[in-house]
A and B are shown apart, each in its own frame.
Chain A
Amino acid sequence: MSEKPKIGLYWCASCGGCEESVVDLAEDILGVVEVVDIVFWPVAMDFKRADVEAMEDGSITATLINGAVRTSEQEEMVRLLRRKSAVVIAYGSCAHLGGIPGLANQFDREQILRYVYEEAPTVSNEAGTRPSTEHRFNGDRATLPSFHHAVRALDQVIDVDYYIPGCAPTPKLLKQAVEALLTGALPPKGSVIAPDIALCEECPRKDSKPEDLHIERFHRPHAVMADPDTCLLAQGIVCMGPATRGGCEALCIKGNMPCTGCFGPTSRVRDQGAKILSSVAASIDAEEEADIIATLETIPDPIGTFYRYGLPGSFLRKSLSQSS
């Protein structure tokens, strides 16, 4: 047996982009595999759950878990990996704050299942069949994991030591985290391993952001030709930069697209959506109530805009079943 540190990687409710970002280390990944043993990585290597169960508790140096937790299987797996790992890192927006899958917390489990298996225009299911957690046929028994009532960020299920933010995290951040892990130069537990500054601080358009914004109406990014050198907020495009942690080096801004908030808030902010809502609303020009309402109507989907990556990790977490 080698004495190299052992690394595990696992995915839950996610798109696979985080796994891609590991592969995006490109040739640097060779350096990583030279110094660590990857002991579990279902997307790329043939290990089974039983292999993890056979490991000693705490024997994995660090496990990077991406994706939110929605099913009983994901919950079981992350609890198992927590037991087996000395350090657990929530990797990417979904594990960090719930991510895009977390937007499903605007709806109830029943609403989701009904739509997906009955009402969606592409579905033909007259018998109204739904997946069940257990099915017996000719003496055989097939099982499926159960579907929880809410999407959860990883730290709403297990204890998490560190967070690497982003949808997906940049290879640079991953490399920094791996280096910190290997050299033992780790920040305090609970840290998000990315700079603790707002994105605006590292934005190439920073100098064009006016002291006071006077937004008359909001424009959705697909509906305008944005000037590539001017602050997007100054152009009336909702940019999450002021309430979002930097560290991505303004990738979207450089592509002339607004920040959508995937790095989550800085350490001083508890609820990223509320914070950008506060900033954006205060920056509009109108003073009369009716004008204010009309200007704000040009943001058609405030929850999807402000909480795009963080609804489960926000104060409200999940919508109430019925209005109350």
Chain B
Amino acid sequence: MHRKEESGETGVPWRPRIVAFFCNWCTYTAADLAGVSRMKYAPNTRIIRVMCSGRIDPQFVLDAFTEGADGVLIGGCHPGDCHYSEGNYKALRRYHLLRRVLTGMGIDERRFRLEWISASEGDKVKQVINEMVEQLQQLGPLDLPAERMRLDSELEEMRPRRSVIDISEELKEAAHV
């Protein structure tokens, strides 16, 4: 893997990008609390609110990495506290199996993290994100889009990337998506 410490054109130092999926009831509320409490933490995270950590399809995680995330963070309610009773257990099971797939594909396991953060734990949001940013700084960029471009440069002609769900408009209509 090549490591670019600066994004070539602009000369702006590279900073890790984290995509975070936070559940509506606990971790997102905690992030909100961190915000209103004016806690300062690393600005590298794009938070996506989902209703429950059990709603986080492993496809979301893979998509985030494929689109250029350096790390993915999942935040849910502590065991026993899930608003929907067991969504967080499902998230935990999926996390452990997906982690094995990711490491098998050469992605360092420190890039994928799951944390239980309750609505009152604004300080834990701050601590987890700061820690993860620091770790990703050490690991360097993942940059899968660049990796894919490099791989496809061996082809006579580059193919455009597949869209997320590669189906025609008519099919989409038929499938109600």
Measured CB to CB, the residues of A under 8 A from B are 75-76, 79, 106, 148-150, 155-158, 187-191, 196, 267-271, 273-275, 277-278, 280-282, 284, 286-287, 289, 292-293, 296, 299, 302-303, 306, 313-324
Contacts and interface: CB of A to CB of B under 8 A. Distances in A.
B63 A303 contact: no
Interface of B: 1, 54, 57-59, 61-63, 65-66, 79, 89-90, 92-94, 96-98, 100-108, 139-140, 142, 144, 147-148, 151-152, 154-157, 159, 162, 164-171, 174-175, 177
A274 B159 CA distance: 24
A302 B104 contact: yes
B62 A296 contact: no
Given A274-B57, A296-B100, A267 B1 contact: no
A154 B131 CA distance: 42
Contacts of A75: 155-156
B105 A319 contact: yes
A273 B101 contact: yes
B93 A282 contact: yes
A180 to B, nearest CB: 15
Given A191-B171, A278-B57, A281-B97, A292 B107 contact: no
Contacts of A150: 151
A196 B167 CA distance: 12
B58 A278 contact: yes
A156 B164 CA distance: 14
Given A273-B101, A324-B107, A190 B93 contact: no
Given A190-B167, A278-B58, A287-B89, A316 B66 contact: yes
B101 A306 contact: yes
B168 A270 contact: no
A111 B157 CA distance: 26
Given A273-B101, A296-B100, A319 B106 contact: yes
Contacts of B170: 188
Which of A158, A296, A323 lies at the interface centre, i.e. has the most chain B CB atoms within 10 A of its CB? A323
Contacts of A289: 92, 96
Given A278-B58, A303-B101, A270 B165 contact: yes
A324 B106 contact: yes
A306 B101 CA distance: 9
B68 to A, nearest CB: 12
Contacts of A314: 62
